[in-house]
Structure 1
């Protein structure tokens, strides 16, 4: 049972309401930004008489803007401002951008909307979930992050076919309009009236703070000087910080191969429906993977990342070597790749927390998060360029498998560097 600071029992811990509100924001505004975007490309391109690449360019604006926001102000504001202000702003930006897209008379409106979406999702996609969970809960943090991040996959699975029907029957403008209105009507009240920044705002302690195991773990970490690294310390001895950035970058760059699976399927003789099924297998496996990896993170960061990265290597190998023999190899490969797809949203935050602790987690993770949209923007075209240069996806698959193997090696290096950093920080504090 949750208790107040005075030790009085409360009926239901308020952090659960905050967690549910954040999950719904992942399910709707965040999902509408990324997981349903592709269903509009053909219709928008035809309406404006432009290529799909020109339509997809607005996503480059999303990623680039998110990168700049994470670098310059997202982490600082998340630490200083009331979370209600930040989350409400995110919802308004996403809802307003989607409505503007529904009214657009030029593709350039999409590019402006992409900037608004990028600012909002600098917080929504990369920062708010791990920060909120870490502030309000002391137990099962990895599992809860996995569940929250899985909301985007659930949303993509549910809303993409529904929106496809809306587009077919009522047009793409109606689809964007519905998304914008739903995001505002459902999420703005939650952001403004339900969410709170920290347990102390409600006179509460984080859930699990009184658990004997949590107390013992934190006391042991504090005694060892491992309760946390400040941002100044992390940047003064930057090896651990750089390694965490490289790990995050490899995870984000590697997962963008998913965008090219339909093209890969058609390149080896299948029709587009097979490629679409591969993409669906990735999304479904990612949904399950986020939960599994989140649960494993609470037990072993290393095991969780091995489960996320190693199957991906086999999945791409199966697709490359046996994909022409049967589409079942493609589907199996998509499922195995889906586990790796879950590494970025679920494992990267926990790796950063394991390396640096909680003292300056919000700020440190915000800076690590800079590389995520940057690498996603690069990866969105990187694999296509390899195909254009070689006429095959084989080299691209091999490079991506190498990236997964490197991610594992970098993980071990980051954890080792984190231990050295904590030892140095302890000595530095004693001076």
Structure 2
């Protein structure tokens, strides 16, 4: 009788593949886009609005494409889908190094948007939730923390390349590294499901006379039963939990996006621009630690309490920073705590989806959550900009962020309870 091994190392290899198509392009290319704005503006004489328009186009296109991406990932082999996505995004980024017209950058924004619908928020949580019966929280957090770490490294490296060789060479180098690493890791390690590799998900319970192995028939039955647990996409769409889930994910996105306003807040206030620059680094480091801790907490105490910790941490951190005045120590402490809320976007959203609706139609359900995240990304800068332009102060922005975290804290337990009614008896 054929045997199927439990707790396969393949789950962790698939995680490496997820880092390839998700953490590397997002960390190295998407999160370093800001360092190219000034040199591109200076060379071509464009306004900042025109130069960054492609980053507004990207989340809008991604929001439109995300539901279709979810269906494709569920129907076809994600190994080759994500390998193709990695190659298209990487080559488009390489081509952007030679872009000299605004329409070329805007076209890049469209390609970026289509591919990001697959790699930026959707595919990694989908695969991790298939491959990890236990430990999914820490696996998601590892991929997200790797992204942040790569961004921390890539930004100064990219800036050094710009200073030494110009923005085109710097963008070409970063894009080539991203393309090769993403395609190789994705093709080598991504696999559709444990059953394809004749293994069980990581952490699957072991039964029978042999604790090391289970028969293929037993394994197939166990995996099929686990994958069919949860609400259908039709049931989810009829439940208020679907819409509060999307709202919670959008809130975490809106609040996380506020960190980009911190340098301007400091520069226009008592703390000064240098404190603002340091604060961004502290938020990034706090986010790395926060992602790992939130992932571990999810696996230990569940998503409800972990979600509350993330929302309370975000609200507390922003409140401390807002009320710090000229006290740098208090301000930095607030930014470090805010890292927990910042980390919630990439940890809480996917794990709340799994906890609310189960794995049955996870990819399609989470594709709609991704749509909400992309929409929140598109409007966040406009919202904060309008508040500052109309009040001449960032106080209103801080109050909005705090209020949003409070709303999320209320919605997390409601979402879980309402969604679980559909499938948990």
CA distance in 1 between counterparts of 2:195 and 2:128 reads 14
CA displacement 1:318-377 (0-9 Å, x = unmatched): 22222x322223222211111111111101111111110111111111112110010011
1:344 is the counterpart of 2:339: no
User: Does the 8 Å CA contact 1:265/1:271 hold for their aligned counterparts?
Assistant: yes
- Give me the TM-score of the superposition, normalised by structure 2: 0.91
The residue aligned with 1:418 is 419
1:359 is the counterpart of 2:354: no
User: Does the 8 Å CA contact 2:16/2:189 hold for their aligned counterparts?
Assistant: no
The residue aligned with 1:391 is 392
* Alignment gaps of 5+ in structure 2: 208-217
1:279 is the counterpart of 2:275: no
Aligned residue for 1:268, secondary structure, equals coil
Size of the alignment, in residue pairs? 410
CA distance in 2 between counterparts of 1:27 and 1:369 reads 16
User: Does the 8 Å CA contact 1:48/1:107 hold for their aligned counterparts?
Assistant: no
Of 114-123 and 147-156, the range deviating more from structure 2: 114-123
The residue aligned with 1:105 is 100
The residue aligned with 1:228 is 230
The residue aligned with 1:254 is 255
User: Does the 8 Å CA contact 2:253/2:376 hold for their aligned counterparts?
Assistant: yes
The residue aligned with 1:161 is 156
User: Does the 8 Å CA contact 2:286/2:340 hold for their aligned counterparts?
Assistant: yes
- Mapping of 1:35-50 within 5 angstroms? 35-50=31-46
Once the two structures are TM-superposed, the CA of residue 273 in structure 1 deviates from its matched residue by 2.3
CA distance in 2 between counterparts of 1:10 and 1:337 reads 38
The residue aligned with 1:267 is 268
1:52 is the counterpart of 2:48: yes
The residue aligned with 2:330 is 329
1:134 is the counterpart of 2:136: no
2:306 is matched with which residue: 304, 307, 311? 304
User: Does the 8 Å CA contact 2:8/2:200 hold for their aligned counterparts?
Assistant: no
- Mapping of 1:136-215 within 5 angstroms? 136-211=131-206
CA distance in 1 between counterparts of 2:320 and 2:157 reads 32
- Give me the TM-score of the superposition, normalised by structure 1: 0.90
RMSD: 2.3
1:318 is the counterpart of 2:324: no
The residue aligned with 1:368 is 369
CA distance in 1 between counterparts of 2:7 and 2:127 reads 21
CA displacement 1:190-237 (0-9 Å, x = unmatched): 22233211122222221222347xx9xx99xx89xx9311111212x3
CA displacement 1:257-296 (0-9 Å, x = unmatched): 1110000001104442221111111111111111110111
The residue aligned with 2:117 is 122
User: Does the 8 Å CA contact 2:39/2:167 hold for their aligned counterparts?
Assistant: yes
CA displacement 1:235-266 (0-9 Å, x = unmatched): 2x321111111111111112111110000001
CA displacement 1:150-187 (0-9 Å, x = unmatched): 11101111111111100111111111101221122222
The 1:271–1:325 alpha-carbon spacing in structure 2 relative to 1, beyond 3 Å, is closer
The residue aligned with 1:429 is none
1:32 is the counterpart of 2:31: no
